[in-house]
Structure 1
Amino acid sequence: MRSTAGSMTPTGTATEPDSAGRVRRFSTAERMVHRATGYLMLLCLVSAACLYIGPLALLVGRRHLMITVHEWSGILLPLPLLLGLLSAEFRADLRRLNRFAAYDRQWLRAVRKRRTSPEARPAGKFNAGQKIYAGWIAGAVLVMMFTGLLMWFMGLLPFLSRTSAIFVHDVLAWAITIAVLEHMRRAFEDPEARLGMRTGYVSRSWARRYHSRWLHEERDESSDEK
Structure 2
Amino acid sequence: MSKRVYSAPGDTIESVHPVTVHRYRGLTRLNHWVTAGALIVLLLSGLALFHPALFFLTGLFGGGQTTRWLHPIVGVVLFLSFFLLFLQMWRLNLPRREDVQWAMQTKDVILGHEEKLPELGKYNAGQKTVFWAMTGLILVLIVSGVMIWQEYFPHLVSIPVRRLAVLAHALAAVLIILVFILHVYAAIWTRGTIRAMTRGTVTGGWAWRHHRKWLRELAGRRDAGPAE
**Alignment TM-score, normalising by the size of structure 2:** 0.80
Report the equivalent of 1:25: 23
Partners of 2:199 and 2:157 in 1: how far apart? 45
Bigger mean CA offset, 144-153 vs 184-193 = 184-193
Report the equivalent of 1:157: 157
Match 2:45 to one of 41, 44, 47: 47
Judge conservation of contact 1:154–1:162 (CA < 8 Å) in 2: no
Structure 1 residue 111, shift from structure 2 partner = 1.1
- Name the CA shift for 1:59/1:100 in 2 (closer, same or farther; >3 Å): closer
Report matched runs for 1:137-216 at 5 Å: 137-152=134-149, 153-158=153-158, 161-216=161-216
Judge conservation of contact 1:107–1:120 (CA < 8 Å) in 2: no
Report the equivalent of 1:38: 36
Partners of 1:100 and 1:59 in 2: how far apart? 39
Report the equivalent of 2:75: 74
Counterpart residue identity of residue 104, structure 1: D
- Name the CA shift for 1:173/1:23 in 2 (closer, same or farther; >3 Å): same
What secondary structure, in the 3-state scheme, does the structure 2 residue paired with 1:209 have?
Answer: helix
**Alignment TM-score, normalising by the size of structure 1:** 0.81
Structure 1 residue 164, shift from structure 2 partner = 0.6
Report the equivalent of 2:102: 107
> % of aligned pairs identical?
26
Q: CA RMSD in A?
A: 2.3
- Name the CA shift for 1:185/1:195 in 2 (closer, same or farther; >3 Å): same
Report the equivalent of 2:66: 65
Match 2:92 to one of 87, 92, 96: 96
Structure 1 residue 29, shift from structure 2 partner = 1.1
What secondary structure, in the 3-state scheme, does the structure 2 residue paired with 1:119 have?
Answer: helix
- Name the CA shift for 1:155/1:224 in 2 (closer, same or farther; >3 Å): farther
Structure 1 residue 188, shift from structure 2 partner = 1.9
Judge conservation of contact 1:24–1:200 (CA < 8 Å) in 2: yes
Bigger mean CA offset, 34-43 vs 112-121 = 112-121
Aligned length: 204
Counterpart residue identity of residue 167, structure 2: F
Report the equivalent of 2:133: 136
Structure 1 residue 120, shift from structure 2 partner = 3.0
What secondary structure, in the 3-state scheme, does the structure 1 residue paired with 2:183 have?
Answer: helix
Bigger mean CA offset, 134-143 vs 49-58 = 49-58
- CA deviations 1:24-50 (Å, max 9, x no partner) are 111111111111100011111111112
Partners of 1:193 and 1:59 in 2: how far apart? 31
Higher relative contact order (CA 8 A, sep 6+): 2
Judge conservation of contact 1:106–1:120 (CA < 8 Å) in 2: no
Judge conservation of contact 1:40–1:77 (CA < 8 Å) in 2: yes
